[in-house]
Amino acid sequence: MIPEDARTEAGRLRELIRHHNRLYYAENRTEITDGEYDALMRRLVELEKLWPGLKADDSPTLRVGSEPLSQFPAIVWDPPMLSLDNVFSEEQFREWDRRIAREVQTESPPVYSVEPKLDGLAVALVYREGILERAGTRGDGREGEDVTPNVRTLRTVPLKLRGKPPGSLVVRGEVIFRRDDFQDLNRKREKEGLEPFVNPRNAASGSLRQLDSRITAGRPLSFIAYGTAEWPDGIDSMRSLFRYLDRLGIPVNPWNEACTGAEEVCGAYRRLAEERDRLPWDIDGVVVKLDRADMQGRMGVVSRFPRWATAWKFRAEEAVTKLLDIELQVGRTGRLTPVARLEPVFVGGVTVSSATLHNEDELRRKDARPGDTVIVRRAGDVIPEVVRSLGNPEGERSVPFRFPASCPVCGGPVAREENEAAHRCMNPSCPARLRESLFHWGSRDALDIEGLGGKLSEQLVETGLVRDVSDLYSLSEEQLSLLERMGEKSAGSLIVQLERSRKAGLQRFLTGLGIPGIGRTVAGFLAESFQGIREMMEADEETLTGVEGVGPVLAESLHRFFHDPVTRGVVERLLEAGFDPAGSVPGEGAGALEGLTIVFTGSISLPRSAARTIAEKCGARVTGSVSSNTDIVVAGPGSGSKLEQARRLGIRVIDEEEFLELAKGTEGSRPSP
C-alpha cells in the first residue's frame, strides 16, 4: 500500500511542476531557478520509482520520453483537419472579404479573428475527462500519425487540463520552435559535433516525428493552440474560444486580435508584418477567420478548405545581388561551412553582405558559383541564405566550388562522414576547434578528466597555455593555480586527474581524439580489434574495413587521420607525453580459434553477443565485415551478401554446429579454406 504522505507529496510536486511550466511557457516568467525546477522533477521521479502505483496518466515525468516505436500508428480525424486557402496581396484579401460580406449578409462589416500564421507542424490533442489521451499530426487531413508519446514530452502541452474541462475536447494547434530555443538547440548540436538544423519549421516537424520519444524530449518544442475540432458548449466566437482554452491551461497566441471589417484587418496585417522580426517565433503571414461560430457554419467548407478562413501570406523577403566569392568558416566542432560573400544588398530590414550556403549538398543543389547573380533571403527572418542562382548574365560561369582536402585554418585533413552533409577538420588541435576538443577530451566517455570543463578549456586556450591537446600534460600546478577560480587545491586535483588519464585504454583514447564518426561504440570495436595504438596506426584501409561498425568511408578517414602529418603529429605528441593505449582484444593463451578473424552472418540460435564472447575466449577476433583478412564465416539461415562475399574470396564457411565444435576442440592448426 502506498503511504499517504508519499501520495500527498507526489500530488503537491505535480501541481508545483505544472504551475512553473505554465509560468515559463505561457507567461514568459519564472519564480524558481532551473536547478530548483530540476530538483522538483528528480524528487517526483524518485517517488514514482519507489511507489509505481503513484504514476498517473498526467504525471510530468512522462515528459522524459519512452522506448522507441517501430512505426507510428494511424489516427483518424472526424471532422477532418483542413488546410487553409491563401491570398498573397491586399487586393486578393479584399476580394475574399467581399465574398464573405455577400454570403453572410450582415448589415455591418463582419468581425474577423486575425491570428499570426505560425510556421510549424499542425497537431491535434485529444482530451478525455481533462486528461491527454492521444495526439496526432494532420497527415492528409483525414488520417494522421499518432505521436502521443512524443507530444507528452512537450512542456507546453498540459497533460491534465485546469478548471472544469468537458468530457471530450479535441484541441488543434501548431508545434513550433521558439527562435531562442531553436538557436540554443543548434548551439548545443554544434558543440556535440552534430549538423545544425537549417530552419525551425523542418526541425520541428522532424523532432516531433521521431520514433524514439526520448529524442523529442531533448528538443525544446512548443505548442500553440489555434482552435478546436468542434465548438465547446457555450462558446460562440473565436475570442471566447481563446479565453476558454487559456483558462484550461492550453497556450494560445497572445498576438491574436479581433478586427471589424477589411480596413482593420489590413491594419493588423501591416502591424504584424512590421513586428514579425521581434516576435518570439517565426510567422509567414496572418490567418483571418470569421469570428462568430454561426457565421462560420453558414459559410461551410469545400473539399479541402474552410470557406470562412484564409491565410494572407507575407511577401517573401528576398533580394537579388552578385555572389563575389565562396569562403569557408571552421566552427568549434571543426565543421566547415561555405559562406557566400555578396555585393551588399538590403533585405528583410538589414544590409546583407554574406549568407550561408549550409553544406556541400545544399551548395550543389543551388549550383551557386562566384560571379553568379543570386537570390538572397533571410531564412526564418534571421539568418541570410542564398536561395538559388540565376547564373552569370555577364558571360561564362566559374567552376563549381569544391571542398578542400585540408583545413583552411590548420592544414589538417578534412573528412565528410558517411550519411552526413557536413565536412569537418579532423585535427583536434586545430585553433578553430581547440576549446571544444579539450572539453571533449576530458568528457566522461573519453578520458574522464574531472575538472576539465568548458570554462577551464576556454581559459587554457585564451591564455595560450594550451595550443595542442598534448600541452595539457606539460601544465604545472603553478600555471593552473593562476587561472580564474582555480587555486592550489583545484590545480593539484587536476594534475592528479591528468596523470591518471595517461593510463587510459585504446577505446577512451580514440574517443577523446574526436575523429569524425568515431564515437564510444565504434572506438570500442576498434579497441577489440587491435592490440594497441601503433598497430592501428599502421593498419591499411582493408584491415580497418574489417572492423565492426567501420565502413569504407570511415576506414578511409581513419587511414588519413593516422597518416596525415598534422593529425599523426598530435597522436605522436600524446604518446611522447606518456600515453601507451592498449586494446582490449580478449583471449589469452592458444586456443582452437587463436589468431583467427571470424564473421557471423544470418540467423544462429545463440545470441550474437554470446557467440562473440565464445569466439573471443578462444583467441579469435570477431568483425562485422568480410574482407580478405577474414578466416572463417559462420553462416546461418538467411545469410546474404556476407556469405556471397566469403565465397567469392574463397573464405572457409561453416555452420553454427561446426563453430561450436571448433570452439571446444583441442588446439589445432589454422583451418584451410
Burial of 303 (0-12, 13-18, 19+ CB in 10 A): exposed
Provide the 3-class DSSP secondary structure of residue 433: coil
Burial of 570 (0-12, 13-18, 19+ CB in 10 A): buried
Q: Which residue has the cell 522538483?
A: 40
In degrees and rounded to multiples of 5, residue 46 shows phi and psi of -60, -45
User: Is 191 considered catalytic here?
Assistant: no
CA distances to 63, 118, 125, 208, 478 from 223, rounded to whole Å, are 14, 10, 10, 11, 52
| DSSP track, 483-546 | STTTHHHHHHHHHHHHHHHTT--HHHHHHHHT-TT--HHHHHHHHHH-SBHHHHHT--HHHHHT
CA distance 118 to 286: 8
CA distance 635 to 616: 17
**All cell numbers assigned to 643:** 556469405
Contact (CB, 8 A) for 141 and 82: yes
- Among residues 117, 160, 289, 366, the one annotated as catalytic is 117
In degrees and rounded to multiples of 5, residue 359 shows phi and psi of -165, 180
Burial of 618 (0-12, 13-18, 19+ CB in 10 A): buried
Strands (E), 178-255: 221-228
CA distance 511 to 362: 30
Calculate helix-pair angle for 200-208, 179-191, nearest 10 degrees.
70
CA 218 from centre of chain? 8
Closest CA to 362 of 385, 333, 390, 331: 385
Strands 86-87 and 309-313: parallel
Non-local CB neighbours of 89 within 8 Å, separated by 6+ positions: none
Contact (CB, 8 A) for 6 and 50: yes
CA distance 625 to 559: 17
Query: Which strands, in side-by-side order, build the sheet including 168-177?
Result: 131-137, 121-128, 168-177, 221-228
Q: Which residue has the cell 587561472?
A: 483
CA distance 203 to 180: 14
In degrees and rounded to multiples of 5, residue 333 shows phi and psi of -95, 10
Q: Which residue has the cell 579454406?
A: 673
H or E element in which residue 422 lies:
none
Residues identified as active-site = 117
